Amino acid sequence: MCTDCGCAAPAPGHDHGHEPHPRTIRIEEDLLAKNQSLATANRIRFAAHQLFVLNLVSSPGSGKTSILERTLRDLAGQMTFAVLEGDQQTSNDAERIAATGVPVKQINTGTGCHLDAHMVSHGAEAFDLNSTDILMIENVGNLVCPASFDLGEDHKVAVLSVTEGEDKPLKYPHMFRVADLVLINKIDLLPYLRFDLEKCKTFARRINPQIEIIELSCHSGVGMSAWYDWLIREGNRKRDVNHT
């Protein structure tokens, strides 16, 4: 046996019949290519079901689940939802969503800091997509890593609450760059805080000049109708694009 490479040819001085080594080979692959192809497959599958899909991202505690709970209750009867809940541990959020009567599936990422397209692909198997208008994916609370992972959604929606700093868009620019909409939550607390709302909006537009911004409080209900209008408008736009 050849002691150079372990091939079956007799040693020494034989012709290996294959490339010399060591040698350099070109790869040219994106490290996210696998996730991207799965996300594209999700997107095609969701479009086939006329499904409008949102990926909700934020830091922990900004109110993603509370916004969802109120949205699902307020829009019950107008449109049908399904919810994928991403958290490292526990099914607490899924239990809160289940109490609204909407189908929900909890995805626990364990040590993982984000949802990926593969998890969403299997998570969505829990739902009857034909009878669902909107799939809400609540990502793991983390303003960093979920920015890099396409799940096959139509839009990333970033939630930022006024109990956080107004400079969050500058500190976590990747997320605000890839989001199409920011929901600024808990604005009923503004009188008690030193949060500069206008500065926050300026910072978000500095990172992403096209970003839409809606100020609301899922606790008091102020601003929620603007969010519902956005949901209906963008959902209809997607269905119209599908039809043409």
Partner 1 sequence: MHELGLTQNLIEIAEVHARREGAAAIKSLTLKIGSLSGVFPDAIEFAFEVCSKGTLAQGATLEILCIPAIGRCQQCSAETSMESLADSCPECGSFALDILQGQEMAFTEMEID
Interface ranges with partner 1 (CB under 8 A): 5-6, 18-19, 21-35, 112-114, 116, 144-145, 147-149, 170, 173-174, 177, 203, 205-207, 209-210
Contacts of 109 (CB under 8 A, 6+ apart): 86, 87, 88, 115, 119, 140
Residue (31 or 191) nearer to partner 1, CB:
31
Q: Min. distance of Cβ 112 from partner 1 in angstroms?
A: 7
Residue (30 or 240) nearer to partner 1, CB:
30
180 neighbors 209 (Cβ within 8 angstroms) = no
Strand 52-58 versus strand 104-108 pairing type: unpaired
Q: Min. distance of Cβ 161 from partner 1 in angstroms?
A: 21
Tokens at 96, concatenated: 């809160």
SS3 call for 8: coil
Q: Min. distance of Cβ 150 from partner 1 in angstroms?
A: 13
Residue (126 or 170) nearer to partner 1, CB:
170
CA distance 173 to 171: 6
88 neighbors 69 (Cβ within 8 angstroms) = no
Q: Min. distance of Cβ 189 from partner 1 in angstroms?
A: 26
Tokens at 141, concatenated: 């609370």
Q: Min. distance of Cβ 166 from partner 1 in angstroms?
A: 14
Q: What would you measure as the largest C-alpha separation in the chain, in angstroms? A: 84
Residue (177 or 219) nearer to partner 1, CB:
177
Taking the CA atoms of 87, 142, 218 and 158 in sequence, report the sign of the dihedral they define: negative
Residue (26 or 194) nearer to partner 1, CB:
26
